Amino acid sequence: MIVTINPATEEVLAEYPAMSHGDINAALNAAYLDFTRWRHVSMPERARLMLRVAELLRERKAEYGALATREMGKPFAQAAAEVEKSAWVCDFYAAHAEEYLKPEAIDMDGGKGMVVFEPLGLVLGVMPWNFPYWQVFRFAVPALMAGNGVIVKHAPNVTGCAAAIEQVFRDAGFPDNIYRTLHIELQDVDRLTGVVIEHPFIKAVSVTGSTAAGRAVAARAGRALKRSVMELGGNDPYIVLDDADLEKAVTVCAASRLLNSGQSCIAAKRFIVHRSIRSRFEEMLLERMLGAKTGDPFDPATEVGPIARADLREGVHHQVEESVRAGAKLLCGGAIPDGKGYFYPPTILADVKKGMVAYGEEIFGPVATVIEAADDDEAVAIANDSEYGLGSAVFSADPVRAASIASRLETGNCFINAMVKSDPRLPFGGVKQSGYGRELSSYGIKEFTNIKSLCFS
């Protein structure tokens, strides 16, 4: 059985039957049969059904938001906003998929060429718990609009959310098996996910999760010669220059670090601050972090809910302790509170240096690290001194200076004077150990198509 637990109260929420090897094969067979029909459904009809999904998500926003809050602990307002954002990506691809996938004519000597975009088949998504709706929808919606079938192995601790997503596609009128969820127990994930990847009906794999998980799945997909897209961990640098609007920078930096209780791959994690303003930045950040209320995620005043699981909280705390032992200065937080729930307080580590855990590792919780830089060149060097390369941000009053720094950062995206976000209109993904391939926009929908060349003479 798969057991879900409320991380704010430690109470058991529900138990779900795990799928056997036979159950998984039956699901894949049914999904493939529906795919053979779905690939021929017209784009306007696909769009009509996807718009209905968006309608249902908005109608059920409170219900689905509350479910996510109970299962993984994010503040309810953020959970409801996540459902709304998932509806947006449905609207977006309903409006743009046909344009993105229209055939492209190519002039050739003595003939005519054409590039067409055809579905691959069943695409497996291995999805995480931290944004249990958005990260599934941003993968599944373009894949379905491109004519593929979708199979999702969701994180076990958000099994209720996983079941709700599958149901909403059926309720909207999609074929019953064109979107299927595989309920797999945590101890069987490696074995059964490997079986799924190697199944002949699975043609590609998309992973959102930790770098370690991505490596494992990418290795299996590579051995099977299956296409893959990896959106993995991040240790995003936010560079604050000496001419930045400090009030705005601190507000944005703190909001990014605390969003989803710090459990986001694109959260601000390393604050690289110019030496001349570091002390003031730390004072303002400390005031902001101390003012963030931690507690019941259903309380509208709560900004920081619990960490999603007990083992994850222990991991965060261990990283903080190791950093302090190595010489980092603890400005606030850094202690596991008494009582029920997997809560961890907003924490700031200052005087962080190369070699410390907080310098090189991703900390998946509400922990901010402050690193001093003497000048712009050193700030860029520190930002790039990481195995990760997902998102980044630069804060400066000079757009030319900020753009110059942005062009030197080894990341998949960079936001100027703003928080890093994923947006359906922009390609999203990273470099280095943060993964490869892109989601969203016109680039994302083409990742899981057969880009076929036709030539007429």
For residue 104, is it within any domain? Answer: yes
> How far apart are alpha carbons 160 and 3 in whole angstroms?
10
Please name the helix (run of DSSP H) or strand (run of DSSP E) that holds residue 14, with its range, or none: strand 12-16
Do 385 and 442 belong to one domain?
A: no
**In 216-269, which ranges are E strands?**
227-231, 237-240
**Sequence letter at residue 123:** V
Tell me which residue of 130, 446, 451 sits closest to 308, measured CA to CA.
130
> How far apart are alpha carbons 429 and 441 in whole angstroms?
11
For residue 422, is it within any domain? Answer: no
Per-residue pLDDT tens over the stretch 203-235: 999 999 999 999 999 999 999 999 999 999 999
Do 198 and 328 belong to one domain?
A: no
User: Region 128-140: what's the mean pLDDT?
Assistant: 98
Per-residue pLDDT tens over the stretch 350-389: 999 999 999 999 999 999 999 999 999 999 999 999 999 9
Do 37 and 326 touch, CB atoms closer than 8 A?
no
What Cα–Cα distance (Å) separates residue 176 from each residue in 16, 26, 33?
A: 20, 13, 11
CATH number at residue 191: 3.40.605.10
Count of domains forming the chain: 2
Do 168 and 275 belong to one domain?
A: no
For residue 426, is it within any domain? Answer: no
**What order do you get walking across the sheet with 104-108 strand by strand?**
104-108, 111-119, 449-456
The pLDDT assigned to 120 comes to: 98
CATH number at residue 294: 3.40.309.10
Do 253 and 287 touch, CB atoms closer than 8 A?
no
Do 84 and 144 belong to one domain?
A: yes
For residue 451, is it within any domain? Answer: yes
Q: Which residues constitute the domain of residue 247?
A: 237-416
For residue 225, is it within any domain? Answer: yes
For residue 309, is it within any domain? Answer: yes
Residue 151 CB neighbour total at 10 angstroms: 28
Do 388 and 241 belong to one domain?
A: yes
Do 180 and 147 belong to one domain?
A: yes
Is 231 annotated as catalytic? Answer: yes
Do 201 and 252 belong to one domain?
A: no
Do 438 and 345 belong to one domain?
A: no
Tell me which residue of 390, 368, 421 sits closest to 214, measured CA to CA.
390
Tell me which of 71, 82, 231, 447 is the catalytic residue.
231
Residue with tokens 């979708």: 150
For residue 281, is it within any domain? Answer: yes
Per-residue pLDDT tens over the stretch 299-316: 999 999 999 999 999 999
User: Region 92-97: what's the mean pLDDT?
Assistant: 98
